[in-house]
Amino acid sequence: MNDVFEKYRISLRSILDSFLVNPILFLLLKLKLTPNAVTFLGFLICCISAYFISSGSFLVGGLLVLFSGFMDIFDGALARKMELITDRGAFLDSTLDRLSEAIVLIGLIYFFSTSNETNLVLLTSLSLVFSILISYLRARIEGLGYNSKGGFFTRPERVLVVSLGLIFFSPELTVTLLAIATTAGLFHRFLIFWRILK
């Protein structure tokens, strides 16, 4: 089943490359932006989105989260296009990805805490921890010498749920769905990796 999710992500990435990524890459090259600059720009946009989310401006915050998610596609694509793929760039990208995800959810935690929504604070905190753990499991198994991208509800799916949930629905529904999905995603990835370990 883990191959199904990975094939879906590869197929979606191919469609995005044709209709969205390549035209914007041309623009980024014209602007002479480096991959690391795009990474930092995406993180800055996430910080701004967290501010709007924490103040209750969910439409603006959701749009910025979505835009930041697209920026995360462009930094890697730009690095490949410019042949600037480096370990330092990959390390920076992974670090800021985790921080971006955390800061958005911290914005939600702050909003719910000011509204005395204890249950939603707990659900958002759970989502934050489990989101980071889903990414950590892959990093850990690769550190053990295995190569696997198995599992579902990885960062792209989480970005879509948060951004679209805030844009079209409510923060309460968004956080509830996120908590359920990150819990399922964490246990699914753990079981996949546990089975391939010796």
Q: What pLDDT digit, counting tens, does each position of 73-96 carry?
A: 888 888 888 888 899 998 999 999
- The alpha carbon of residue 63 and the mean position of all alpha carbons in its chain are separated, in whole angstroms, by 14
Q: Is 97 a catalytic residue?
A: yes
Which residue is listed with tokens 């910080």? 47
- The CA R_g of the chain, rounded to the nearest whole Å, is 17
Structure tokens belonging to residue 90:
């990959």
| Burial of residue 143 (number of CB atoms within 10 Å: 0-12, 13-18, 19+) | exposed
Ramachandran bin of 151, using left for φ above 0, alpha for ψ from -120 to 50, beta for the remaining angles: left
- Tell me: pLDDT of 196 over 90: no
Q: Please give the average per-residue pLDDT across 5-33, as a whole number.
A: 71
Higher-pLDDT residue of 37 and 28 is 37
Q: Hey, what domains does the chain have and what are their CATH numbers?
A: 2-196 (1.20.120.1760)
Q: What is the pTM of this model?
A: 0.88
pLDDT tens profile 101-122: 999 999 999 999 999 999 999 9
Pick the range with the lowest mean pLDDT from 22-36, 38-52, 64-78. Answer: 22-36
